[in-house]
Amino acid sequence: MSTQGTRVQDALSEPQQRVGRRFVASYSLAFLGLWMAFFAPIQVLLAQQMEQIAPLHKEAALGWVTGAGALVALLANPLCGAWSDRTTLHWGRRKPWSLFGMALGALALVLLGKQTTLVGVILWWCVAQFALNALLAALMAELPDQVPVAQRASCSAWTGITQPLGVVVGTLLVTACVVGISPGYAAVALALLVCVLPFLLLVGNTHLQPSQLAPWRWRAFLQGFWVPPQQHPDFLRAWCMRFLVQLGSALGTLYLLYFLRDAIGYERLFPGKTSEDGLIILVVVYTAGVVVGALLSGYWSDRSGRRKRNIVLGSAMMALAALLLGLWPDWTVAMLAATLLGLGYGIYVAVEQALMSQLLPAASARGKDLGVLNIANSAPQVLGPAVAAVLVTRLGGYPALYVVTALVTLFGGLLALRVRSVS
């Protein structure tokens, strides 16, 4: 067999060789930059823009912006994943899409920071969401492309840690290191480039030849986004599990800054401090919990080969944290809830992606199938703002919001027990 033929075969088979520290480190760093680009705007910058643009309707305006962006993400992730499955460039299947998403995402963030109207913010946040989801689709496909099953939970633990770290570092970057909305977006764009480039430059990529692809047909391409539940029932169960847990996350985090300000009264409790200061403290506590929970969970799961029990335990802890916020809106309770939420999310995220990667129907469509699974990440971001706004403004306020968050998260985690093909 030729060298090129071997590379093609490797791209369509389960990887067997363990990845090294350079892969894990640069892969995790790329995710760190990506999560900073996602969450620094959502946690701080977009909320600040809405306070300037629509101060009397900031909650509804923020919901429109995040909902529109999530709708774009809903479509972009599976589409870009599917296109990367068919990419035969010299750079490989995934790298061109990572480069495209990184470059366009950085540009969109810079332009987003210059907007002074709601329409302008929505437009450029949607562009940023498309680009960042192209990057996300390519990066996530690298896990089943290059990491063997027995190492995936440990690798997912490190990448899982980067999500809350991205929130912490991104929040600190736009609140403590730079002043102003436009400079904040520019700083996040620069961080995205700095974090993603090492992975693109240092790590190889799988390659395909055009002869290995089925002929292009629009109908077959579109039909490929439907994964028949009769043939792959565990795929559907895992999709529903992720959807509900992510819906719980969307419900519980969207208004956290406003919750600190309006429900807990952080600025009244601590004169001279801002609610953004309180948010940073909670995120740091949460992140410490994630680091501990993820590393222990990933090691435990890869050693035992079991995934589902970690998911159930992690989701139960996250549900308890939300319940505490709903029933006792107090700063001390919020600190306890942040600790439980971090530990629970760390335990959950270390194994969730590993479990998902073991349920993909076809090696030739890993990017597309992961994109379909990632709809379960994006769809709650569309639905969550609408549900959260109704709960907060009409159906009981923040207590109702966090009790519903707890119930949805717990039920989602329990669905893991229905997955049959992974222990």
For residue range 96-149, what is the model confidence (pLDDT) as tens digits? 999 999 999 999 999 999 999 999 999 999 999 999 999 999 999 999 888 998
**pLDDT reported for residue 8:** 41
Instruction: Find out whether 370 and 172 touch, Cβ atoms under 8 Å.
Output: no
**Structure tokens, 412:** 């989602």
* 210 domain-assigned: no
* Per-residue pLDDT reduced to its tens digit, 395-415: 888 999 999 999 999 999 999
* Assigned domain for 220 exists: no
pLDDT of the residue at 231 = 81
Query: DSSP state, 15?
Result: -
Give which of 46, 371, 360, 11 is closest to 205, Cα–Cα.
Answer: 11
Does some domain include residue 218?
A: no
3-state secondary structure 252-295: HHCCHHHHHHHHHCHHHHCCCCCHHHHHHHHHHHHHHHHHHHHH
As a whole number of angstroms, the distance between CA 286 and CA 120 comes to 33
Q: Residue 405 belongs to a domain with what CATH number?
A: 1.20.1250.20
CA dist., res. 187 & res. 295, Å (int): 29
User: Which residue numbers in the chain have pLDDT < 50?
Assistant: 1-9
Q: Confirm if 157 and 130 have CB atoms less than 8 A apart.
A: no
CB under 8 Å, gap of 24 or more: what pairs does 258-266 form? 258/47, 258/58, 258/59, 259/325, 259/329, 259/398, 260/334, 263/329, 263/397, 263/398, 264/329, 264/330, 264/331, 264/334, 266/331
Instruction: Give the distance from CA 310 to its chain's centroid.
Output: 19
Sequence-distant (6+) residues with CB within 8 A of 219 are none
How many structural domains are present in the chain? Answer: 1
The two three-digit tokens of residue 151, written as one number: 């190492």
Give the C-alpha separation, 372 to 378, whole Å. 10
Assess if residue 209 is contained within a domain: no
Cβ–Cβ < 8 Å for 307, 301? yes
Show the domain range for 253. 17-202+229-418
pTM, entire model: 0.81
The packing angle between helices 21-40 and 118-146, to 10°, is: 160
Encode pLDDT of 134-193 as tens digits: 999 999 999 988 899 889 888 989 998 898 788 889 988 998 889 899 999 999 999 999
Which residue, chain included where needed, has tokens 């039909």? Answer: 223
In a domain, 211, yes or no: no
In a domain, 367, yes or no: yes
Token pair 């995936």: residue: 152
Asked if the structure places residue 9 within a domain, the reply is no
pLDDT at 4: 37
